[in-house]
Amino acid sequence: MTPGLGGVPRIVVLTGAGISAESGVPTFRDAGGLWEGHRVEDVATPEAFEQDPDTVQRFYDARRRAVASVAPNPAHDALAALERELGDDLLVVTQNIDDLHERAGSTRVLHMHGELGRVRCLACEARSEAPGDLLPGPPCQNCGERMLRPDVVWFGEMPYGLDEIDLALAGCETFVAIGTSGAVHPAAGFVLTASAFGAETLELNLAGSEITSFFAESRLGLASLVVPEWVGEVLREGR
Ligand code: NAD
């Protein structure tokens, strides 16, 4: 989604690659810092795109096709069910570029690192739905130039929606991080902002992360188990 969700939610959930792992989308920290066998510097930086655009396009084309062949898991489903109850009182901020939250039914999703399913034109800056593979180079639907890049935020680029995220973190009652290693900034610092403004903080992750100590509570386990459990508690307690 595009930034501009409006309102201050009671609950802000930050998700990372770990929530999609059980759907069959590999995380990269768990693979020794490689993303599908590639060094991040070789596929997820503006410099890599400048030096070897075909390799970068091929990498994201493969990710886009892989994500299209998998399905949301019970963790995505649980967050969609929570939104059905809470409406505007829930905001999901995701670092993921897949669309598994949306396919589970979530609508209030802010993709701070962009989306595999969208493209940005380097000639006219128009952002639109990906027409499929970006190799060999389809034309932009707006200006006709063949200068499309994935609409994802690479290392060294500015994430989307930071002003809106800051407002949500400052106003929310509860901040929950799910399946994120806490190694990528600025998302790794969201827990500190939320707790500085008085929010309860909870981490749900497979293993302790680099930021576990910043959370008031941390629960370890598979996202497909711990997320539905937590959502069940919220719905029962009506908080
Ligand atoms: P990460 O790969 O750095 O860390 C993944 C975290 O998830 C780890 O802490 C790990 O313990 C946890 N985890 C693994 N399996 C889990 C499970 N089944 N249940 C719960 N937790 C589990 O991911 P990150 O912190 O999101 O940072 C990686 C960056 O890479 C992000 O910026 C993201 O854009 C990108 N990325 C995205 C995807 C995706 O879109 N699905 C996949 C890989 C990388």
Runs of H (alpha helix) within the chain: 18-21, 40-43, 46-51, 53-68, 74-86, 100-104, 162-171, 190-196, 223-237
pLDDT exceeds cutoff 80 at 151: yes
SS3 202: strand
Residue type, 9: P
Q: What is the mean pLDDT of residues 21-45?
A: 84
SS3 186: coil
- Report the relative pairing of strands 174-178 and 200-205 from DSSP bridges: parallel
pLDDT exceeds cutoff 90 at 186: yes
- Report the relative pairing of strands 127-129 and 148-152 from DSSP bridges: unpaired
pLDDT at 2: 44
- For the Cβ of 203 lying below 6 angstroms from any atom of ligand 1, the answer is no
CB 35 within 8 A of CB 43: yes
Expressed in angstroms, the distance from the first to the final Cα of the chain is: 26
pLDDT at 106: 98
Of the pLDDT bands very low, low, confident and very high (cuts 50, 70, 90), residue 29 is low
At 188, phi and psi to the nearest 5? -60, -25
CA-nearest residue for atom 7, ligand 1, is: 18
Torsion of CA 74, 79, 80, 81, to 10 degrees: 90
List 110's β-bridge partners, or say none.
93
What spacing in Å lies between the alpha carbon of 141 and ligand 1's midpoint?
32
Assigned token pair, 239: 């908080």
Of the pLDDT bands very low, low, confident and very high (cuts 50, 70, 90), residue 31 is low
pLDDT at 34: 74
Mutating to test ligand 1, I would choose from 14, 25, 27, 211 the residue with most ligand atoms within 8 A of its C-beta, which is 27
pLDDT at 28: 77
Q: What is the mean pLDDT of residues 147-168?
A: 97
Which residues are tagged catalytic? 113
Average pLDDT, the chain: 94
Of the pLDDT bands very low, low, confident and very high (cuts 50, 70, 90), residue 1 is very low
Percent of the chain with pLDDT over 70: 95
CA distance 126 to 148: 9
- For the Cβ of 211 lying below 6 angstroms from any atom of ligand 1, the answer is no
What spacing in Å lies between the alpha carbon of 218 and ligand 1's midpoint?
17
Q: Which helix (H) or strand (E) holds 109?
A: strand 109-111
pLDDT at 150: 98
